[in-house]
Amino acid sequence: MSETSRRDFVKRGCGLAAAGLVLGADAEPTEASGDLGAYARYQQEKPPARNGAGQPANWVATEDNILGPFHRRGAPFRAKVTPPLEPGTVLLVSGRVFGLDTRRPLANAVIDVWQANHQGRYDNDDPKRPPAANVFVNRARVITDENGYYEFETIKPGPYRIGPKTWRPSHIHYWVRAPRYRELITQLYFRGDEHQKTDNWIRDSLIIDLRENRAAAKATYKSGTFNIILAAAAR
C-alpha cells in the first residue's frame, strides 16, 4: 500500500479530526456472533470462584506496608506486568478484593502493581538513566471484575541489597483504591525467602504460598492467591 493510499484509507475509515481519532460517517457497528446464553444466566445465579480465590478465612483488613521509593504514576492498564520474554520464573497472581464492612467483593477496584526484575532492579532505580515518561517496565494497573476478581501475569522479582548486610526479600507492591474505602498501600511476599528473617517491613499476613503448574511443552510456572480486604473510609 502506497503512502497516498494509506492516508486515504485512514481518513475514510477513522475520520482524522483535530481533537483526535473519530469513526468515519460510514462506519458500521461490529457484528455480533452470538450471545452468552446459559453462561450469562449461570453468572447471575452463582458468581464462579476462580483459581481458589474464594472468601478469606479471617475477616480483618489487609495490613499496609511501605510505599518505597520507586512507584510511578500512570502505568498502563494491562494484565501482563512484564515485557514479552522477560527473564525469570513466570508467575500468575490472582485474588479478590473485598469490603470489610460488607464482606462482599468490590467490583472496579483499581490496583497499581510494580516490582523489580529477576535481578532486583526497578526501571527507575538509576537516576542517571531514568525511563522515558511513557515507558513502564514491570508495572501495570488492573481492575477487579464484577466478582471482585483480579489476575495478572509477571515474573517472580528478585531480592535486592539496601545496605552492607541488609536485603529486601522478593516482593510485589500494591496500591489498591475503591470508592468509599480507604486506600491501601501494601506488599506481597513469598514464603520461603531467606531474606524475610532480617527484613524490617515484612508482615506475616502478607506472605503467600506458591504452587508449581505445568503448561504446554513441559513449561512450568508458579501461581499464588492474594486476597485483599479494604477497610471502609471514614464518613
How do the pLDDT tens digits run along the chain, 235 residues long?
Answer: 454 454 454 444 444 444 567 878 888 887 777 676 665 554 555 444 444 446 787 899 999 999 999 999 999 999 999 999 999 999 999 999 999 999 999 999 999 999 999 999 999 999 999 999 999 999 999 999 999 999 999 999 999 999 888 999 999 999 999 999 999 999 999 999 999 999 999 999 999 999 999 988 889 999 999 999 999 998 7
Distance CA 186, CA 202 (A): 10
* Pairing label, strands 20-21, 16-17: antiparallel
Phi, psi of 197 (to 5 degrees): -65, -25
**Residue 35 placed within a domain:** no
Q: Is the dihedral of CA 161, 163, 167, 171 positive or negative?
A: negative
**Residue 144 placed within a domain:** yes
| Residues 97, 176 contacting (CB under 8 angstroms) | yes
**Residue 65 placed within a domain:** yes
Domain CATH number, residue 161: 2.60.130.10
**Residue 12 placed within a domain:** no
| Residues 13, 24 contacting (CB under 8 angstroms) | yes
Domain range for 153 is 50-230
- Give the number of domains in the chain: 1
